[in-house]
Amino acid sequence: MAKKGLLIVYTGNGKGKTTAALGLAYRMLGHKKRVSMIQFIKGSWKYGEMESVKRYADLLDFHVMGKGFIFKSEDQEADVKAAREAWELAEQTIAANRHQLVILDELTYLIKFKMVPEDRIIKALTEKPEMMHVVVTGRDASERLIELADLVTEMREIKHPFHSGIKAQKGIEF
Residue numbers at the binding site for Mg ion (CB under 5 A): 17-18
Residue span 108-137 as binding mask against ligand ATP, x where in contact by CB under 6 A, dash where not: -----------------------------x
How far is residue 74's CA from residue 58's CA, in Å, rounded to a whole number?
37
Return the one option of ligand ATP, Mg ion, none that residue 139 interacts with (CB less than 5 to 8 A, by type): ligand ATP
Q: Give 18 or 93: the residue with its C-beta nearer to Mg ion.
A: 18
Find the shortest distance in angstroms from Cβ 2 to ligand ATP: 31
| Burial zone of 136 (CB within 10 Å; 0-12 exposed, 13-18 middle, 19+ buried) | buried
The residue within the footprint of ligand ATP, chosen from 27, 72, 156, 160 (CB under 6 A), is 160
Please report, for residues 22, 27, 102, 163, the alpha-carbon distance to residue 60 in angstroms, rounded to integers and kept in the order given. 11, 12, 10, 35
* Piece of 50-58, 90-98, 120-128, 155-163 that binds ligand ATP (CB under 6 A): 155-163
Q: Give 123 or 170: the residue with its C-beta nearer to ligand ATP.
A: 170
Pairing relationship of beta strands 133-137 and 101-105 according to DSSP bridges: parallel
Q: Which residues bind ligand ATP (CB under 6 A)?
A: 13-19, 106, 137, 139, 155, 157, 160, 162, 168, 173
